Structure 1
């Protein structure tokens, strides 16, 4: 069967025209969709709106950001910085006015104690001191007589021995007086006292007061407990799988549950080389800043900075979240902003690392959510 050549040409031309028409319609639809998407990602604000919303424009910054490990811990005091205060010789508490938590200065009187044995000790010292003067004079006299052979060597040796023994006794009694806080050089027969004072060995906080006025205390009793406030440190509990990523010198940012906005800085100085039965280890850190609100036993939340890298970062207030995606607003012209999608990274000290798809210049760094609300409200109105 013979096919008309003209008919074939006409048919092919018709198909081509139909294809071109469909492609044109698809291109027009795609362009309209793109323009519609771009329109929903852009917003314009007047000068008055910018001022009222407190919009601030700035540039992303290069920051050293860290991956952090979040752990828990407590404020602790090393044993060498906890001072237990006792009285060297027992007695009755005659005066004290202390409350746990008080700050006391080194050398201040914590309490006064009375007992008759203090009187006896002062009497023994003064008596021994007077006998020493007699023994010394007798020793000098016997030494001169012995040199002229007017007295035997035996008598001189006995006198010398008694003199030396009396010197030992006076020295020992003087040390006992110093032990209870009395100065033997100032002691005489007219100022013998039944009272001694207990002084603060350091400047610090009273963590425990175990006595009251009128109570009898023994030399073995702990009357007070003082804590050196400059020796507070952080004791963190870290799980076994995280311990390998820690090292001495790493920085830590701590907060308390009662005041999470207040940040305390610390540095790791000791990692316990042992895993406990609960599969954890203890990490001890030096506090760099602290105040009177930090007391031993205070619970802490801590973020350990593991590793650092130079990244592009923006203030936290520059990032908005919409439909589970993160965005920033780039200023295209005065008062004109476009919403740009970004990937967020680590956050530190009010900044968050971002990974934009293109280079960002000027962005909204403060009150970005105000721009988002304007954008979405404008879209709803359209």
Structure 2
């Protein structure tokens, strides 16, 4: 019985080993076939890549000086778009230099009418204050005496007025002499003049004399802002002894800033009130030009500079513009049609303005059509190589973008006025009106050109 059992076990083991050997031979054959197919595919792709590089190299050799080759992938990645010239109505301009200024009525120096000691300072440089707002407080015994003198004069006024009227009635009744009436009237009028003078002085230092009583006499007064604006200077500190008419604060109403432009003698007759201007800061330009309008001509001429002053108002004030800043302005003196491109189509290099003109657009010929379908079939047959096949398919998609390339020429132009995002320019080259231009992110094309010219990888010539 035991002998039969051992024979059965040995037979089962031998049969299992035979089955495993057959399965292993089948799997090895499939893996070998898959490896051979994948190697053939990679060889074909490498051959195609070499052909692509040879085609690009041939295109580069055809490029002339000041030209740069940009692939379709680079165009898409940098967001470079193409556009054509448009004819637009832009103004003739007069270029002028000037500065932001304030009219004399729009800035104020704050002084004290009555001297004393600075008891409190309520503002600092940069604070915005409104007209009539208290910015400091001044105390002094003379201010107390002034209020006392006013109260005395006001009390005397009632008595002297009554005495004058009484003496006047007695004169009418022939009881007293004319001289007595005249003396009473002189005393009454003298006290009235004193009272009115003290009243005005108290009003000037913002103490209301009508509400003044012996109980509410104050030891000082508030110094108030004469205009609304920004505090640009604080020349005192707490405890400073000040004198009348001493300059303590400086306030400017920056919202009323205007432009004073210097016009050269040859341009004076071209400029008139009402003409529009565009301007920007000379030393710290903002992203967009601002607008204004010629207000009037200053009727004076600088014989040394050979210039005249023109005043211009600002259409919309910007907080970054401060009095004293230098500006560059373009006065629009008339309108005519001229060639324009979007403002983003221009790039500055070495102090000159350039645009990039599309010279040609081509595609490298393909000799490996259908690889994507073969990869999909291959991935279905061999599951173990699915990720590699997907990678090859993605690479073919990127390769298709590389096959499409653009050759741009860098052309110098004379850039004119910019209005509403369009810039006029002057240039002279063939087929200018039908040519296509790079109109966005042209700095990327310039960078690619410089990268190639410096000996690094790139397609510039």
CA–CA distance in structure 1, aligned partners of residues 224 and 355 of structure 2: 62
Structure 1 counterpart of 2:291: 265
Q: CA deviation at 1:337?
A: 9.7
Alignment of 1:243-254 (within 5 A): 243-250=268-275, 251-254=277-280
User: Within the alignment, does 1:217 sit opposite 2:288 as a pair?
Assistant: no
| 2:99 matches 1:74 | yes
1:28-64 Cα distance to aligned partner (Å, 9 max, x none): xxxxxxxx99xxx9x9x99x99876646677765532
Shift of the alpha carbon at 1:369?
A: 8.6
The CA deviation string for residues 12-35 of structure 1, in whole angstroms up to 9 with x for no partner, is xxxxxxxxxxxxxxxxxxxxxxxx
- The alignment's C-alpha RMSD in Å is 4.1
Q: Is the Cα contact below 8 Å between 1:248 and 1:271 reproduced in 2?
A: no
In the alignment, is the contact (CA less than 8 A) between 2:112 and 2:223 conserved in 1? yes
Task: Output the CA distance in 2 between the equivalents of 1:168 and 1:95.
Answer: 33
The Cα shift of 1:199 comes to: 0.3
Larger Rg: 2
Describe the shift of the 1:261–1:71 C-alpha distance in structure 2 as closer, same or farther (beyond 3 A). Answer: same
Q: Does 1:85 align with 2:110?
A: yes
TM-score by length of 1: 0.71
Which structure dedicates a bigger proportion of its chain to helix?
2
Give aligned pairs, total: 336
The unaligned stretches of length 5 or more in structure 1 are 1-35
Give the whole-Å Cα distance in 1 for the aligned partners of 2:355 and 2:106.
Answer: 49
Counterpart Cα distance in 2 of 1:148 and 1:238? 80
Where 2:167 maps in the other structure, the secondary structure is helix
Q: For residues 67-106 of structure 1, give each alpha carbon's deviation from its aligned partner in whole angstroms, at most 9, with x where no partner exists.
A: 4444432222222322111111111111114333322111
Q: Name the residue aligned to 2:200.
A: 175
Q: Does 1:136 align with 2:161?
A: yes
Specify the alignment match of 1:156 in structure 2.
181
Q: In 1, are the aligned partners of 2:298 and 2:310 still within 8 Å (CA)?
A: yes
1:123 to 127, 138, 148: 148
Alignment of 1:78-117 (within 5 A): 78-117=103-142
CA distance in 2, matches of 1:274, 1:49: 56
Which position in structure 2 is the counterpart of 1:16?
none
Distance 1:316 1:192, change over 3 A: closer
In 1: Cα distance, 2:246 partner to 2:441 partner: 62
Task: Provide the secondary structure at the position in 1 that maps to 2:302.
Answer: coil
* 1:190 partner SS: helix
Query: Would the aligned equivalents of 1:329 and 1:368 in 2 still touch at CA under 8 Å?
Result: no
**Of the candidates 280, 285, 299, which is equivalent to residue 326 of structure 2?**
299
Q: Distance in 2 between matches of 1:138 and 1:63?
A: 88
**Counterpart Cα distance in 2 of 1:105 and 1:360:** 59
**Equivalence for 1:190:** 215
> 1:209/1:173 Cα in 2 relative to 1: closer, same or farther (>3 Å)?
same
1:157–1:277 Cα change, 3 Å: same
Q: Which residue of 2 aligns with 1:351?
A: 422
User: How far does the alpha carbon of each residue in 1:182-241 deviate from its partner, in whole angstroms, 9 at most, with x for none?
Assistant: 110010100111111110011012222222211111113111121122331222334444
- What's the secondary structure of 1:99's corresponding residue? coil
Q: Which runs of 5+ in 2 are unaligned?
A: 1-61, 362-403, 453-458
CA distance in 2, matches of 1:277, 1:347: 29
- Label 1:200 to 1:154 Cα distance change in 2 as closer, same or farther (>3 A): same
